Structure 1
């Protein structure tokens, strides 16, 4: 019989799962994405309050309406991304528990709105707005991917709510029937 030990030095009788989410939110990569996201929020606010406001006044007709629509969608998307980042940082800093983080996370909508680049008139929008929209979607895609990976961690956490696994149930029945551990 082999002696198995967990990373923390405790004896383990089985495989140890490493949580991607926990490792990620304590990494320099998280710090980088957090800073990048918050900088994008600040740049967008500065643009929309300054040069963007001036550029919007010169737009006419459907391009003016598109500017208003896309700037609101951009702001909403960035608020959701900033909320996600702030929740993960609060969890990392120990300001909230994992349960609180999950509860708060469920209120954040990381839904993928359609990309506006195919919309008629998009090319008529100011370069500054189009650039911020593209940057926000790139950040949105990365955070959505991280969120899915971190959600899978929660699903696979043995301390989380049990998930019915038919194969594991069958293996358990066989182990009990033959009074032995199958590995």
Structure 2
């Protein structure tokens, strides 16, 4: 496979990834992610810009930092989704998509707690939605490209999804 990426030698992992990109779950996740990107862009360019002008200096600095982290996180989400859509549409092979440059990892920035006091409620809602989606996509990325062997078996939804895939041969 590719020397710079994560090797997808495990046929079950390859089949699981292929099944996922063709699934309704991926289609819904893609729509959710792209909708969130669009909603955030519209907010930051319109209502959010106006709201930020009404904030005090300290809160305005918090707003600026939070909106930059949000934008960065959403760009990473969109990039991951577009790579998998390229796989779905046959424009990219799974081996290419498994390259390390496309992997998502839990980042310290995504775990940063900030004081949301005084921030516009809509910004806080968008940050929370992006954080939840990023966390979910990071878990999916790990499941799809790192493979089952490296995933710690826990009694969680991801482990249950793997068990269903093993039993029925499909993720969607």
1:25 and 2:21 are equivalent in the alignment: yes
Contact 1:91 1:98 in 2 (8 A): yes
Higher relative contact order (CA 8 A, sep 6+): 2
Q: 1:110 to 1:78 in 2, by over 3 A?
A: farther
* Change in 2 beyond 3 A, CA 1:66/1:108: farther
d(CA) in 1 for partners of 2:12 and 2:85? 22
Aligned to 1:150: 144
Structure 2's unaligned 5+ residue stretches are 1-10, 151-172
Q: TM-score, normalised by structure 1?
A: 0.69
Report what 1:170 is aligned to.
none
The equivalent position to 1:67 in structure 2, one of 63, 69, 72, is: 63
Q: How far 1:62 sits from its partner (Å)?
A: 1.2
Distance 1:106 1:154 in 2: 20
Which residue is 2:158 aligned to?
Answer: none
After superposition, residues 33-44 of structure 1 pair within 5 angstroms as 33-44=29-40
Deviations 1:134-162 (A, max 9, x none): 00011001100100101233878xxxxxx
Q: Which residue of 2 aligns with 1:161?
A: none
Separation (CA, whole Å) in 2 of partners of 1:152 and 1:99:
12
Matches within 5 A, 1:87-98: 87-98=83-94
CA contact (8 A) 1:56 1:67 kept: yes
1:83 equivalenced with 2:79 (yes/no): yes
- Equivalent residue for 2:122? 128
Kept in 1: contact 2:110–2:131 (CA 8 A): no
Task: Tell me which structure has the larger Cα radius of gyration.
Answer: 1
Structure 2 CA distance for partners of 1:82 and 1:110, relative to 1, 3 Å:
farther
Aligned residues: 138
